[in-house]
A and B are shown apart, each in its own frame.
Chain A
Amino acid sequence: MAFEPKIIAYLCTWCSYTGADTAGIARLKSPANIRDIRVPCSGRVSPEIIMRTFEQGADGVLVLGCHIGECHYNTGNHRAAKRLPVLQALLAYAGLEPERVRLDWVSASEGERYSRIANDFTDTVRTLGPIHWRVAERGAHFVWEQEPISHRYSAFSDEQPKHAVYHTAIYDEQTLILQAAARELLTNKLVDCVIGFEVGPRGRTRPAFIHQPENVERLVWNQDCTHNLSAYLSKKLGWGTDGGKKKQPDKLPKAAVVVKPCDSRSINVLLAENRFQRDQVYIIGMACDGIRQGAGFSNDKSGPIQTRCAACNVRTPVVYDTLIGDSEATYREIPPEHIYPGIDHLDALTPIERMNFWLSQFDRCIRCYACRQACPMCDCPICLYERDDSLWVGMGIDVDEKRAFHLGRAYHLAGRCVGCNECERACPMDLPLSLIHRKMAQEMETIFGYRAGMAVVPPPFVTILGGEENLP
């Protein structure tokens, strides 16, 4: 028997579901492959549900809503129109044909349009053939090549970052300025704590929490300061909880934090999400010349700078109270096509090859959640992918489940990830996580012209479509 795809269609109850009814009343043929699920609004269809639908074996997902401007809920469909292209890009990058997800508009009177879209979409998915998404069901049909653990994504980069020259004298000078600033803050009791970097007993640079003015000499600034210290801010500055109900203390804690330009962008993201107040944090911004590869692990103080730093064009913090360092000296013009390094090689592969690559990577994941813990943005009280209800992902270590976790996290970081690479650094299995997050950042910039954390603004998903933004 010929392949018959299973397709789930999420239909807005006001326009598209009624439109499907209209199609039925008009005796128009609609393929039996499509199973319609009624939702109040296309804006209700969360990308997590669509990803879960593919996990469960659907060959295609169709989301239909009211035409833009006719939404029963005014602007609910705007949100769908903004999320779906990003989800499509993510799934495509993970190896799924983007044609398997479609967002379209059908109004209540457009039975004919519903029928046409349903038929066309079914034909498209039928041509694409069975989905190769669920590894557990594929059996011998499709086997991915298991990669050795030593595989590094840097093999995908055109050009190895050049061996960098680190100006130790400048770092020493800036360390003294930094220490003076920290001493002043602590002595005057402007902050309770200064979060910075120190050199540990084995010579590795590591985060430091300075509470007393006499300890500020521990603070350093050098090419090994790779950690994104803003990850500590939410906990340091957040409100206490009291039996599940958050309580605002009488006096909000205050902290100073040493940030690189990339870290400063994550502070903006956190501020946009009400993690803490701007006046709670004193930002000591460092003009950054790039961080050494392997920083945090080895102390050889030399070697090339990180790939992301070589491609970084934000060399001055976007938000700071004090700026240390010469922002003009660190300024670098980077061609726009080079801002997101490493991803184009993966883009050039076929969907099957890409899926192969990612499965070989996710296969190594041990679900230790180190990436999530290291991430300054991953701060949900209970992670969606670590719940015991198995609604979103099973608790096993099947590669399907590991992929669901990583793709879900990638979607949650779209428009929020600033590219600090803490997840990849923290990963004990060397998963090239930065590739997927960088891809999402690139998509957000292509689709919405939006770079996370450049200002304290809500991410594009929650706002309505602007005049210049693309409609699917």
Chain B
Amino acid sequence: MVSVGRHENISLLSYSEVENVSGYVGNYQVRVRRKARFVDESQCTGCGKCADVCPVDVINTFDRGLSLRKATYRNSAQAVPGAYVIEKRGIAPCRAACPTDQRAQGYIALIKQKRYADAYWAIRREHPFPSVCGRVCNRRCEEQCSRGQYDEPVSIMKLKWFVADWAYEHRDELPNMRDKSLVGTPFSHAPTPTGKKIAIIGAGPAGMTAALDLVRIGHHATVFDSLPIAGGMMRVGIPPHRLPYDRLDWEIQQIVDEGVEMRLSTRVYDIPGLFTKGYDAVVIATGAHSAWKLNIPGTEHPDNWLSLDLLRRACLGEKIDLSGRDIAVIGAGDVALDAARVSVRLGNPKVKIVCRGMRASFNEIDEANKEGVEIVRNRVFKEVVIKDNKIVGIRCVEAKVGAIVNGKRQVEEIPGTDHVIPCDLVIWAVGQQPDFSFLPEGSHIRKLSSMGLETDDEMMTSMPGVFVAGDVRRGTTFFVVDAIGEGHHVARCIDRYLRGPEGIQEPPRLPTATYTKDEVEKMMEIGWAAENPRAKTRTIPAEERVNNFKEVDLALTEEEAIAEAERCLRCGICSECLECLTACERGAINHDMKDSFLDLTVGTIVLATGFKDFDPSRIPELGYGQLDNVLTSMEFERLINASGPTTGKVTLKNGQPPKRVAIVHCVGSRDDKYNEYCSRACCMYSLKLAQLVHDYVNAEVHEIYRDMRTFGKDYEEFYNRTRKKGINFYHGRVKGIEQQDGHLVVKWDESFFNQPDHVEVDMVILSTGFEAQADAAKVANMFGISRSPDGFFLEKHPKLAPVETSTEGIYIAGACQSPKDIPDSVAQAGGAAAAALSLLDQGTIALDPSVALVNLLRCAGCGLCVKACPYSAIELKESVASVNTYLCKGCGTCASTCRDKAITLIHFDDQQIVNEMIGALAVEPVVPGILSQLEVVHGI
């Protein structure tokens, strides 16, 4: 194989598939799909370091499922070429769903292997704030998780939280480790400075992410924020009982440490002025920090608070005492819940949320209820009732809340349900919007009529050099992941703006790899992922939460996290954790590789597509798949192979070496129920296995054979040698294998006189027969060749043209034609090569004279013959049929399809057939019984 792989005149296209074949002998056009192997074949040395670090386990089909391999693999140790392949179905749906492009499957796979630092780097690659998104994300990844079709999605967010906590706890050790978070990205920790300065207004998730990316490219980034503290909405919008700020501050500090200049407590009023100060680009990432109130009477009273104001004050640590107050929080979303739960913690007042219908997660609502927050649903607000300059309540009407139609919720008020809900403080959490006051009057930055700012495809506003990202672009609050995603995107856009085509391009995407429900169920059946239930959210008791800002939800423990990670279905196979990229010293790995196509023009084609071994689980009485220690011959071959899963040690399931082994012949062959034919090679390989077992396992060997077929040179001698070694041979047809007292009993009938009809053994090897490849029909159709009834490719003539096929220029060799052993395959391959060469060498071919012929005068050009031709040999040219005589095989289907008989078959034309028929009818029948040899009257 190696010499074939290295031959200068042989180009070996491994990991490739023929997509399409057209043309005819001497002029075949073959389209080959070169499947993306994600490893550069010319660079890979086959060292295997990538496979060492790969966290994804896949069933090793080469070892017949007896071992696991990695998603980065080489089919076998002897594979030619020796380059590795990364098995990838596409992008996992969790990654595809995430705005930050987070490689969730990657860090889940690494958590499963307890490689938490690696998992942390895998997260950090796209995500600078894992502590935040591990806690407060809206988890679009989990919505798309394939596991959700089986039971519940993997708790992807909680796993990130676990890794983020681990990293925080080990923050002192992290700098001593190899930072892999930039592997596979265009960024660097110490880039060459580009000399470009970028001002970023707003230190929220979008602004900080953009700043981080920009400094890693080599630009100088300055972040301005009006607040005295960085983090934006993460810091002043998410209350501390959901996000401990030490974690966030640490993550922000990491960004600052990379060289981002921070200008806090600085409000920017003059955006055009920034350019005069030497900035080359500006990012507006100010978020949406202004809550609003409904336009109803009574909202001008000072006891109408805005939710975001309350949250900001609380988050910044201001001591607010709300004890004894009766608070109504107006709103239905997460902000309303946060405001209510923060209020509870500020003196334990009476808090109720009044809304049309809650939009927050059920879990959060549940926790809020436990903390004493009352929720009043289905209300429409009319007035804040003020008496004696004090709020006494909010007047509302009950309403039926329907579905969302055209983006608007259908609300139908119920007449006569007017009532006042008592309260003395109203907190408004009905929505947020950006504060655009910093935009200069008459500036060139245009707002959208709906909300947000106008941008082009490259995130640039109507003013050149001014970009926008995050909530401010959309004009309302979204989620942290959206902001981070936009931060990355805007950094790439700015880089392209500043550096032109040299700038960082948008990363290419493979298609999303999803599984259907049926596929997931099948995978769970074979134990592809653990059956563990989804980890439950644990919280600290409600009584411990009052009047303090202790974090409510608890992180997963290590055991929980690993159990949760084991639930992952590995949709993409390759998890794209990029560990291999880190490990590869040759830079051979490229995860963005795509399938490519190669168009070859060839004169002849040799098909050597091989066979598939018979699946013995189709024969229930043999117990394969049900009984332990019943193996197929291929499985045993792997077991006894020194590079196999057990490095050549043959053991039973219990780890003991077998003392007695039975080898059963003709499994799936010479059997009316399965395959009628003899698979030829099994007798001889069974004898080889018998000798191996005898010599190397030192076990007693029993062969149960139907007929011993030792047809080749030296084969009978080999058989006699095997017999002489003391191996037992029994003639018979095995009727069943049963388990008895920890042993296997093989029973057979048709035994010779005075011979046993059963034997008790520890291990059974089934000599499975050969079958045609599962896609043989597709291949035969593609290459226009025929198949015999057993499904193997059909040769043109069994004796005179054994390697030719019905299609000129296409040859077959090896077990794709019929079951055969290696010497025969090699001999046939030599024959096929010689036949192909002789055709090429001649340069000319003799065609069969019997081909279709068109009478142009009669042809109506209806095209039915074109559709009827099994070989696509006919096409319409200038509205009449035209036969390609190289492709035509002379079946005459066209001639019988043509209504006008404008197309006919030379040597079998209608005139000839009709005249032959008339001639045959002219002979009177011979009376039976007189001349028996005349009874068959062919050709009279």
Contacts and interface: CB of A to CB of B under 8 A. Distances in A.
A and B: interacting chains: yes
Interface of A: 1, 4-6, 8, 20-21, 23-24, 29-37, 39-41, 43-49, 52-53, 56-58, 67, 69-76, 79, 83, 107, 239, 244-248, 273-275, 379-384, 389, 391-392, 412, 458-459, 461-463
B909 to A, nearest CB: 10
B856 A1 contact: no
Given A74-B786, A246-B880, A52 B895 contact: no
Interface centre among A21, A41, A83, A275 (most CB of B within 10 A): A41
A51 B206 CA distance: 82
Contacts of A76: 870, 891-893
Contacts of B442: none
A71 B785 CA distance: 10
B879 interface: yes
Given A44-B905, A67-B789, A382-B858, A391 B911 contact: yes
Given A4-B925, A49-B896, 13 more contacts: A4-B927, A20-B936, A20-B938, A24-B936, A37-B913, A40-B908, A67-B789, A71-B786, A73-B806, A74-B781, A273-B864, A381-B857, A389-B911
A469 B905 CA distance: 28
Interface string B873-901: 00010111000000001111101110111
B938 to A, nearest CB: 5
A400 B890 CA distance: 33
B926 A461 contact: no
B169 interface: no
Nearest to B850: A40
Given A40-B890, A49-B910, A246-B879, A8 B860 contact: no
A384 B900 contact: yes
A73 B917 contact: no
A245 B936 contact: no
7 contacts: A6-B921, A8-B917, A32-B935, A40-B890, A67-B789, A70-B786, A74-B784
A380 B786 contact: no
Interface in B596-626: none
Contacts of B890: 40
Given A20-B938, A29-B935, A79-B868, A275 B862 contact: yes
Contacts of A379: 860
B937 interface: yes
B800 interface: no
B923 interface: yes
A136 to B, nearest CB: 15
Interface string B929-940: 000101111111
A30 B936 CA distance: 6
Contacts of B871: 73-74
B892 A39 contact: yes
Given A74-B784, A462-B864, A5 B925 contact: yes
Contacts of B889: 73
Interface of B: 780-781, 784, 786-789, 806, 850, 856-865, 867-868, 870-871, 876, 878-880, 889-893, 895-897, 899-902, 905, 908, 910-911, 913-914, 916-918, 920-921, 923, 925-928, 932, 934-940
A391 B908 contact: no
B856 A39 contact: no
Contact of A384 (B897, B901, B937): B901
Q: By DSSP majority rule, is chain B's interface helix, strand, loop, or mixed? A: loop
A79 B925 contact: no
Contacts of A383: 900
A248 B880 CA distance: 11
A39 B908 contact: yes
Given A40-B890, A43-B891, A274-B876, A79 B857 contact: no
B910 A46 contact: yes
A27 B861 CA distance: 49
Contacts of B781: 74
List of 4 A-B pairs having minimum Cβ-Cβ separation, nearest first: A44-B892, A46-B896, A73-B891, A35-B920
Contacts of B918: 56
A318 B913 CA distance: 41
Contacts of A46: 895-897, 901, 910
A73 B938 contact: no
A44 B857 contact: no
A69 B780 CA distance: 11
A73 B940 CA distance: 28
A17 to B, nearest CB: 8
A292 to B, nearest CB: 33
Nearest to B784: A74
B772 to A, nearest CB: 12
A33 B925 contact: yes
Contacts of B865: 462
Contacts of B864: 273, 458-459, 461-462
Contacts of B926: 32
Contacts of B935: 29-32
B862 A273 contact: yes
A47 B898 CA distance: 11
Contacts of A49: 896, 910, 913-914, 917
B867 A463 contact: yes
Contacts of B856: 244-245
Contacts of A70: 786-789
Given A6-B925, A8-B920, A380 B899 contact: yes
A23 B936 contact: yes
A382 B932 contact: no
A247 B925 contact: no
B868 A461 contact: yes
A32 B879 contact: no
Contacts of A39: 892, 908, 913
B325 to A, nearest CB: 66
Contacts of B789: 67, 69-70, 107
Contacts of B891: 40-41, 43-44, 72-73, 76
B870 A461 contact: no
Contacts of B860: 273, 379-381
